[in-house]
Chains A and B, each alone.
Chain A
């Protein structure tokens, strides 16, 4: 997925259909567009409320040809619709010359195109993952439409994960009185809050690995019921992992010594381990950390005082100008333990029991109160 760079600062958004399509019933359009918004609200805490008049966040219009924004529509086929990113107002325009249809193989499916355009209205750019909703091409009506993992990761990178699970309709059952708290303090981990690696899974969950064990993180600390054994959750994967990341194809890569493993969810994705030199040409063995930076989709590897930038779409994937000194990342120390771009868009570096939050815009460690580095135990692991 790719983020355009802007997002809404609020989660309760309003919209208005200022101009309906000429060949569809208004009530049907209301329903389809509400469904298209719910594609995104199913996975985040965003809400979308339709208004009939007055100021709204997202205005929707069905127009033909030149319609006042300097980007004229081209009639049937070609361009179907366009939408503006949050920084430009979030409005969505649809070409009324298309044959918009509902639940039909004929024409162009309104729901699917609207869901795509609203992705732009929320801050997503086009994805180069073919199966993603945010891929730019219309591939026909899909009666079993489901949001791709790539889209889920993208929207959650902007707005976080849904705090109350109600995906698939209905709300989550109330927890029984004796249900364990979602977060728990792990005394052993709090006593020694250094870990081997941290990464986001394809579903947006954040995991830390330490020795043979792993923990899932919640907003408040570590989830209860952990630690668990790495070897049970990811069969075939050893302990003491050096680095890990989940790429935008939804696959998770683990690195240890001179080898790497690829998993699709928690299933090994082929014949692994393989040599790092084979799959990640130009990247050294015995890494300290790795992360995928959503700003450009490239993979960053860290070892000692150096870092490498890996672009799988380029040949060679590592430019001759690498490695570069980690000191280019102003304020980040050498010999880090782990690194992660978290779902809030910030990049975090961990070393010992401390962490640093890196500001991608200022390209330096954030100045904040309390200052960085901060305690990993307190801020990440929920230790008192």
Chain B
């Protein structure tokens, strides 16, 4: 089964996991995104990084790239996270 089926919440998780969502734009209690424009900005940043058209829309091309097997290291760093080694 494909790891990425393309739903909005899965895209949110993907963008979060790979460093495109700042903790500021997630609701601290639900974890949901609280500002759609910031979600679009995160999608656009991912598209720019992946060499796609930067529309901010979660289009088919973007979902296709999100479904590709990949490295688990974040693309973007700097949101204050610093994973301890163990």
Residue numbers of A with Cβ under 8 A of B are: 4, 68-71, 73-84, 88-89, 91, 108, 113, 116-117, 120, 125-126, 128, 130, 136-139, 313
Contact = CB atoms under 8 A, between A and B. Distances in A.
Contacts of B2: 77
- 8 nearest CB pairs, A to B: A78-B3, A82-B72, A79-B72, A89-B85, A77-B3, A138-B69, A137-B68, A88-B85
17 contacts: A68-B86, A69-B85, A69-B86, A71-B83, A77-B69, A78-B3, A79-B69, A81-B72, A82-B71, A83-B73, A84-B85, A88-B82, A126-B73, A128-B51, A137-B70, A137-B71, A138-B70
Contacts of B50: 128, 137
A313 B53 CA distance: 11
Given A80-B69, A128-B51, A138-B70, 10 more contacts: A71-B83, A77-B69, A79-B71, A80-B70, A82-B72, A126-B73, A137-B50, A137-B65, A137-B69, A313-B48
Chain A interface mostly helix, strand, loop or mixed? loop
Interface in B52-86: 65, 68-75, 77, 82-86
Contact of A80 (B4, B72, B75, B83): B72
A89 B84 CA distance: 9
Given A78-B3, A126-B75, A108 B86 contact: no
A80 B68 CA distance: 10
Interface of B: 2-4, 18, 48-51, 65, 68-75, 77, 82-86
A120 B84 contact: no
A126 B19 CA distance: 12
Contact of B75 (A71, A74, A136): A136
A88 B70 CA distance: 21
Contacts of A89: 85
A94 B50 CA distance: 23
Contacts of B72: 71, 73, 79-82
Nearest to A87: B82
Given A77-B3, A88-B85, A117 B71 contact: yes
Nearest to B17: A79
A56 to B, nearest CB: 14
Nearest to A78: B3
Contacts of B83: 69-71, 84, 88
A126 B18 CA distance: 11
Nearest to B69: A138
Nearest to A314: B48
Contacts of A120: 71, 73
Contacts of B51: 128, 130
A139 B3 CA distance: 16
A126 B85 contact: no
Contacts of B82: 88
A136 B50 CA distance: 9
Contacts of A113: 71
Contacts of B84: 88
Nearest to A83: B73
Contact of A78 (B4, B65, B75): B4
A11 B82 CA distance: 25
Contacts of B49: 126, 128
A4 B68 contact: no
Nearest to B19: A126
Contact of B71 (A75, A88, A126, A130): A126
Nearest to A108: B69
Contacts of B69: 77-80, 108, 137-138
